[in-house]
Amino acid sequence: MVKLSVIVPFYNVQAYAPDTLRSLRANTREDFEFILVDDCSTDGTAELLRRAQDGIEGVIVRRHARNAGLATARNTGLDAARGEYIAFLDGDDWLAPGHYSRLLAQAEALDCAFVRTDHVQVTGTARTVRRVPHGPRGVVSDPRDAILPAGRTTSVDYAFAWAGLYHRSLLDRGLLRFTDGLRTAEDRPWIWRLHREAESFAVLGTLGHFYRRGVASSLTQIGDERQLDFLRAYDQVLSDTAADRDADILMPKAVRTYCAVISHHMASIGKFEPPVARTLKSRCAAALGRMPRHVLDDVLDSMDTERATVLRRLRRRAAVTEGAAAA
C-alpha cells in the first residue's frame, strides 16, 4: 500500500533540480512514491528525471508532450497518485531529510483532512521562516473558520499547495484538482475551495520545506501575458464565493484579496511588456466593474489611501468604457 504520493512538476529547472532530487532521496520510504512530471522541458531537466527514475526508490516519471503549466502538471500527478496522503513539491525547492515522515506522523495523529505547515523562504543566501497566518498549532479546526476576518491576512492568503499534506478523501471528492491551464495564481481558487469545503484541518510548526525565491525562470520574474492568469484565478474565487452558502459573509474577504492583488500588479506594472501592461490595466478595470458594488465600496473605504486611489481610478476607467460601449 502506498502511504504518500508526492507530486513534483518540473519545467526548465536544470540548475535547481539536482537539489530537489537529492532531497527526495533523503525522504524515501518503501511506502512513498514520487511522481515527477516533466512539463515538456527544453533544457537538461528531462535527463535528470530519467536518471532519478533509475536511482531513487519510488520515483515515477510522467512527461507532457507540450508545456501546459503548473496547474495541469499537478493534475497529471494527481491522476497517477495512489497514496493515502498527497503532497506537492516544486521542482526548484527542496526538503530536509525525513521531512515527509515527520509530517505524515503528525497528520495521522491528528486525523484531519489536511494539515498546513510553515516553511523556510530562501532568497540567495538569506533564509526566512514564513508561518501560516493561523494561531493555534497542532489543533484540529474547521477550515471555514480560518477564512476570515476580511481585513487581516488569514490562512487562505497562505496559498502554497506544497506547504502541507492532504488526505486522499479530498482528492476523491475533487477538492485537490487545480484549474487546468492556469499558469499563475493556480493555488488561489484551490486553497479557497479547500477551506470552504473540507471538514477539518490543522496547522503544524514543522519546518522542512525550503522555498526558493527569485528564480529567473519563475513566472513571478517574467512580465509576459502568462502572469495575467491571476485575473482568471481570482474571478474563479469570486464566482465560487458568490455561490457559497455564506456568500454575504465571505465576499468582502474575496473582494479585498482580489483588490490587493490588482494593486500589487499595478504597482509593478513597469516590469510588463508594454502591450501586456495595457491589457493588464483594461482587464483589471473590467474586473473591478464585475465586483459587487456595495462590497467594493466598503473594501476601498477600508484600504490605505494610496492603494484605494489607484483602484478607484481603475474603476472609473471601467465605468467610462462601459458608458462608451453603451453609447
236-266 pLDDT tens trace: 999 999 999 999 999 999 999 999 999 999 9
- Residue 89 contacts by C-beta under 8 Å, 6 or more apart in sequence? 6, 7, 8, 20, 24, 95, 162, 209
Give residue-wise pLDDT tens across range 83-111.
999 999 999 999 999 999 999 999 999 99
Q: How many CB atoms lie within 10 A of CB 157?
A: 16
DSSP structure class, residue 141:
B
How confident is the prediction for the chain on average, in pLDDT? Answer: 94
For 222, phi then psi, to 5°, come to: -115, 130
**324 has pLDDT over 50:** no
The predicted structure's pLDDT at residue 216:
58
Same structural domain, 244 and 305: yes
Identify the domain boundary among 177, 198, 217.
217
**17 has pLDDT over 70:** yes
Q: What is the pTM of this model?
A: 0.93
Same structural domain, 146 and 248: no
DSSP structure class, residue 221:
G
Same structural domain, 196 and 287: no
Pairing relation of β-strands 114-117 and 32-38?
unpaired
- 211 in Cβ contact with 221 (< 8 Å): no
- How many separate domains does the chain show? 2
Average pLDDT over residues 136-160: 97
Identify the domain boundary among 200, 217, 234.
217
The predicted structure's pLDDT at residue 317:
79
Domain span at 311:
222-326
Q: For position 181, which CATH number holds? A: 3.90.550.10
Same structural domain, 240 and 211: no
Same structural domain, 209 and 239: no
The predicted structure's pLDDT at residue 225:
86
The predicted structure's pLDDT at residue 296:
98
Average pLDDT over residues 295-321: 90
Q: Rounded to whole angstroms, how far apart are CA atoms 87 and 202?
A: 15
The predicted structure's pLDDT at residue 58:
98
Same structural domain, 45 and 158: yes
Could you tell me the pLDDT band of residue 326, with boundaries at 50, 70 and 90? very low
Same structural domain, 231 and 119: no
Give residue-wise pLDDT tens across range 40-49.
999 999 999 9
Same structural domain, 46 and 169: yes
**pLDDT more than 70, % of the chain:** 94
Q: Which of 195, 205, 191, 133 is nearest to 162 (CA)?
A: 191
Give residue-wise pLDDT tens across range 167-190.
999 999 999 999 999 999 999 999
In a 10 Å sphere around its CB, with 0-12 CB exposed, 13-18 middle and 19+ buried, how is residue 17 labelled? buried
**327 has pLDDT over 50:** no
Identify the domain boundary among 217, 248, 270.
217
Could you tell me the pLDDT band of residue 218, with boundaries at 50, 70 and 90? low
Q: How many CB atoms lie within 10 A of CB 38?
A: 24
